[in-house]
Amino acid sequence: MDQLFSEMLQEVGRLGKNWTEHSSALRSADPGQQLGAIAYVFKFPDTSKIGELIDVVENTTQPFVQYWGLRAIQRAVDEGAEYSISDLERLRRVGAIFGSGTDRYLLANSIVRTLDQKRRS
């Protein structure tokens, strides 16, 4: 599955920042469209709001989509994306949903810690 995501990243790299429908693909009920949009946002972290990615992670039942959604959030945070207190609280709740010790749990909580530190500085 990681190979699939890697191939998606290559494809979105060829598109450049020209995929104007990525926000609607994030809102799609189709996990494949969501994953494609997540790959786009992962490649170009300034093209989406963190809240849109949190929506995907909250609403999808696909662990792979949740994982890469969280990775895209992490990348956006690392790149200085704006976020709200509401986004931070939603990420706390999302992290609590995942089983302790899972990659998604660890990733969500790592993002929350990073955002907490940024908020305090």
C-alpha to C-alpha distance for 27 and 9, rounded to whole angstroms: 19
pLDDT, tens only, 67-105: 999 999 999 999 988 899 999 999 999 999 998 989 999
Q: Phi, psi at residue 21, to the nearest 5°?
A: -95, 10
CB atoms within 10 A of CB 5: 18
pLDDT, tens only, 10-40: 888 888 888 888 889 999 999 999 999 999 9
C-alpha to C-alpha distance for 103 and 25, rounded to whole angstroms: 24
> Cα 60 from chain centroid?
12
Q: Where do the domains of the chain lie?
A: 2-120
Contacts of 9 (CB under 8 A, 6+ apart): 39, 42, 43
